[in-house]
A and B are shown apart, each in its own frame.
Chain A
Amino acid sequence: MTEDKKEFWRWTESNWKNPDMEWKDAQFISVGIDVGSVSSQAVIMADGQVLAYGNMRTGSDSPNSARNALNFAMEALGDMPEDRMDYCIGTGYGRVNVPFADRTITEIACHARGANFIYGPNVRTVLDVGGQDIKAIQCDEKGKVTNFLMNDKCAAGTGRGMEVFADMLGVSIQEVGDRSFEFKGEEPPAVSSTCVVYAKSEAAGLLRMGWAREKVLAAYCKAMAERIYSLVERVGVKSEFAVTGGMAKNRGVMDRIMPLIGMDRLTTPWDTQIAGAVGAALFSHALCMKGKGRKK
């Protein structure tokens, strides 16, 4: 008998290069590295426009994760020498462990700035659902934070919680959203536990009672939506509303939050996971313009 080692939580890593730009034409190359608890991103910008990015899983070693993410982005870029980088800012949970960063900035500031870039200047409320925390941020038209709240005390309502669930139910993390809507019948009530560990036991109980996997997923997505909404509510929602982080790709949770919030969320062709690193790269560019770059 062979053991099935399929990893249902595993999401696709990606890197990208802007086909319309060349690093050789740029005056300033600024870099933002976002080392999160689950994923790490590196964004390379040329004069304030995204040139390339890499998005990959964080390992157990933050300095390596930062390095890997940067290498991944550089790979997409091809032949740019690393000393062409003018300024690099580290952000995210592991920001103190980016050895080649010139300075660090909190992810709150970076996500607001990044969302402002990705979704446009009309964004006033940014919800970032990351690997192990939730951030609700209000910002002005320049992407400056005006009010924020971060919950990093518990994993309820975070990406990690969803990974645990996907793994338990044997549903690939990328299919969770769609599968949670495949259940035919009345929408089940939300799982009553907010804690990931208890919710997992509760779900095991529901499966034993004969609930379909899709129904359990629907109940868990609903619970996550309610949990996330209770935090957003505290900061308050102003139009327009945008979501960043990996959870923005999960329709199961997002489509259940929107009715609670009562407005639509903005959409974007960008990968929502890179928002923090985009913000860091933008700050990096701003500091370059102030003459703080060109360390060589």
Chain B
Amino acid sequence: MLANYGYKDASGDYFITIDTDKCNGCGDCAAVCPVDLFAGMDEDPNDPLRVEPVAIVAGTKKNKVKYECNPCKPEANRPPLPCVAACATAAISHSW
């Protein structure tokens, strides 16, 4: 399942997508994120019959990802994002 966390407003699309079929709930993304964007590894709230844990974007953060993620995106030609780089299964992507 592609879980899109974020929003769209007049300035653009701000979504963090977690592919839960790839995510194994290892927690590497949460460990490297400087702003604790990931609420931790838990059972998937959108797939109640799944048992394995999965990375979830915190409910308090998902409506401000543009600002939360800003420190990791200082310039257009930026280095790989810590969360994306840390994910061994390439489950995380950003829309902007």
Instruction: Please give the residue numbers on chain A whose beta carbons come within 8 Å of chain B beta carbons, in ascending order.
Output: 105-106, 108-109, 144-154, 194, 230-231, 234-235, 283, 286
Question: How many interface residues does chain B have, given as a range?
Answer: 10 to 19
User: A234 contacts B46, CB within 8 Å?
Assistant: no
Q: B9 interface residue, CB < 8 Å from A?
A: yes
Interface contact A147-B47, CB-CB below 8 Å: no
Select the residue from B13, B15, B45, B46 with max chain A CB neighbours within 10 A: B46
Q: With A154-B9, A230-B8 in contact, is A147–B2 under 8 Å at CB?
A: yes
In contact, A146 and B2 (Cβ under 8 angstroms): yes
Cβ-defined partner of B8 (8 Å) among A106, A109, A147, A234: A234
A198 → B minimal CB distance (Å): 10
The closest CB in chain B to the CB of A154 belongs to B9
Tell me, in angstroms, the Cα distance from A85 to B75 when the chains sit together.
57
The reply to whether B4 and A106 contact each other, CB–CB distance below 8 Å, is no
Complex CA–CA separation, A146 to B19 (angstroms):
9
Q: Report yes or no: B63 in contact with A153, Cβ–Cβ below 8 A.
A: yes
Contact of B48 among A151, A153, A235, A283 (CB under 8 A): A283
- Describe A's contact surface by its main secondary structure: mixed
- Not counting A145-B1, A152-B7, A231-B8, a sample of 16 additional A-B residue pairs whose C-beta atoms are within 8 angstroms of each other reads A106-B45, A109-B46, A109-B47, A147-B1, A148-B1, A148-B4, A150-B4, A152-B63, A153-B7, A153-B9, A153-B63, A154-B9, A194-B10, A234-B4, A234-B13, A235-B4
Across-interface contacts of A108 in B (CB, < 8 A): 45-46
| Inter-subunit contact B45/A105 (CB<8 Å) | yes
Task: Determine whether the beta carbon of B48 is less than 8 Å from that of A105.
Answer: yes
